[in-house]
Amino acid sequence: MIQSVAAIVFGDGSKESSMRLYPLTKRRSEGAIPIAANYRLIDAVISNCINSNISKIYALTQFNSTSLNSHLSRAYSGAGLVGKQGFDVEVIAAYQSREDQGWFQGTADAVRRCLWVLEDDHNSALEFILLPGHHLYKMDYQKLLAIHRNSNADITLAVAPSPAYHFRHNNRRSSFGYVEVSSENEVIEFRETRESEKMNPTAEAEHSTNSKNCISRSSYRSMGIYVIKKDAMIKLLREYFPRANDLATEIIPGAIKIGMKVQSYIFDGYWEDMTDIEAFYKASMESTRNSTSGYNFYDIESTLYTLPKCLPPSLIMDAIITDSIIGGGCILNSCNIKGSVIGTRTRIGDRSVIEDSVLMGADIYQQTTYGDQSIREEGTGIGIPIGIGENSYIRKAIIDKNVRIGKNIRITNKDNVQEGNREALGYIISGGIVIVLRNAVIPDGSII
Ligand SMILES: Nc1ncnc2c1ncn2[C@@H]1O[C@H](COP(=O)(O)OP(=O)(O)O[C@H]2O[C@H](CO)[C@@H](O)[C@H](O)[C@H]2O)[C@@H](O)[C@H]1O
């Protein structure tokens, strides 16, 4: 286990950052979003730490953090993580004190206000690895740390080639970190680039020679992942930039300006930073295919950990299921499921068809008999049990947790709406994908 480095995982900081995956973040932070039937997004980053033998992990949480805090402490604290003794995830929820009034104002402010914990005598870390908590990727952080140490850098950024995908589809993205590096991969320039300022994608991919400085340059996208020497971090946050709130827009460019050594680690593996609903949907659909693209959930060399649950095996009766993943404890009657993610404790009624969709499942098994007519009031939604009723058709949708979907409904985005807020009716359409809100009730016969 590496004792000299500790990880700082960012939960979710603000209303703004939580909007990119809205409405999945209406009542939870980004890291707590269920993914691939059995997991939460934050499991990917925590598992990277565990698989990289980083034993001390601080999770800084603030906005909509109840379910994230609960998942982290139940899954990874104390005896929760079976067979992985010595690992510790410490949740530091945003707090106020006599000196520090108000909430954390950004990533730099959050770290600064937790320095007293990070500086603790019991904490032997000499470096910190700072990680966004909602990205889906596998990275051996030891490789990143090796680059950082071998180049004797103060800060090392993980960077990725900029895929054209982000330029073509990502209209809602407000900013990303644009990095220029020298032929030795030292960072020459870092700036957080607004959508309107984006460089031409073809030009960006090209390597260029800066005639003035005679430096060969290449451009990359920052992954928002940083290794920082403890001393440098304390100096940057307390002495040089005591009022800076944000790491990306203030601290990193500031460090380059004052001459600190900022190195880059080029990562060319699968990485999805979940910048919007379309990205989440795409990553979910990839999880249903046995292909080399996408996140490998089946890699025994790097286990994806999560909260162990005492769930019975899924009960599948006369159903036809293709190209799909099914979580634990589901009850699937005579239904047809294709290209879909079926979350834990999902119930689906007879003759229903689910295609290219993500069902997040349920937190509880309902005690009512499924479809009990005696408690149903037609057209009102009253008496509809959690799950999908019989004879319903759902295509290209995300159904959040604990949703009660009646019988004979159709969710296919029949009018081909691209963006639409129908929260009062229990759903939102984003990028042409219908998202049914957590706990929503969709009455019998509804057509969306
Ligand atoms: N006060 C707070 N407390 C706890 N958590 C907080 C927080 N404020 C923010 N966070 C979390 O910290 C992470 C970074 O969030 P930011 O909003 O600062 O940057 P963004 O994700 O847009 O871009 C970043 O990541 C992209 C890659 O996705 C880079 O390109 C870009 O340079 C970089 O700024 C997110 O996981 C966010 O939820």
- What is the ipTM for the molecules in this complex? 0.96
Torsion, Cα of 202, 205, 211, 215 (10° steps): 180
pLDDT, tens digit (0-9, with 9 covering 90-100), for 376-424: 656 666 688 999 999 999 999 999 999 999 999 999 999 999 999 999 9
CA distance 5 to 434: 42
CB 22 within 8 A of CB 13: no
CA distances in angstroms from 230 to 21, 106, 212, listed in the order given: 32, 19, 34
Neighbours of 432 (CB within 10 A): 15
- pTM here is 0.91
CA distance 30 to 7: 18
Residue at token pair 């451009």: 219
CA distance 277 to 121: 42
Nearest atom, ligand 1, residue 134 CA: 36
pLDDT, tens digit (0-9, with 9 covering 90-100), for 83-99: 566 778 888 887 777 77
Nearest CA to 26 among 73, 70, 66, 75?
Answer: 66
53-62, 282-291, 361-370 — which is least confidently predicted?
361-370
Tell me, what's the pLDDT at 204?
Answer: 44
Tell me, what's the pLDDT at 145?
Answer: 97
**Is residue 205 scored above 50 in pLDDT?**
no
Closest-CA residue, ligand 1 atom 18, reads 107
Overall residue count recorded for the chain in this entry: 448
- What order of strands is seen across the sheet that includes strand 347-348? 315-316, 331-332, 347-348, 387-388, 404-405, 441-442
163 Cβ neighbours under 8 A, 6+ residues apart: none
Tell me, what's the pLDDT at 168?
Answer: 38
pLDDT, tens digit (0-9, with 9 covering 90-100), for 110-131: 999 889 888 876 678 899 999 9
**Is residue 167 scored above 90 in pLDDT?**
no
Coil, strand or helix: which one is 265?
strand
CA distance 213 to 340: 53
Nearest atom, ligand 1, residue 14 CA: 8
Give Cα 388 to chain centroid, integer Å: 26
For 425, phi and psi rounded to 5 degrees?
A: -95, 0
272 lines ligand 1 (CB under 6 A): no
The preferred substitution site among 64, 69, 92, 176 for testing ligand 1, maximizing ligand atoms within 8 Å of CB, is 176
Question: What's the gap in Å between 378 CA and the centre of ligand 1?
Answer: 46
Neighbours of 53 (CB within 10 A): 15
CA distance 40 to 30: 9
Closest-CA residue, ligand 1 atom 12, reads 10
345 lines ligand 1 (CB under 6 A): no
Nearest CA to 234 among 123, 140, 93?
Answer: 123
Tell me, what's the pLDDT at 223?
Answer: 96
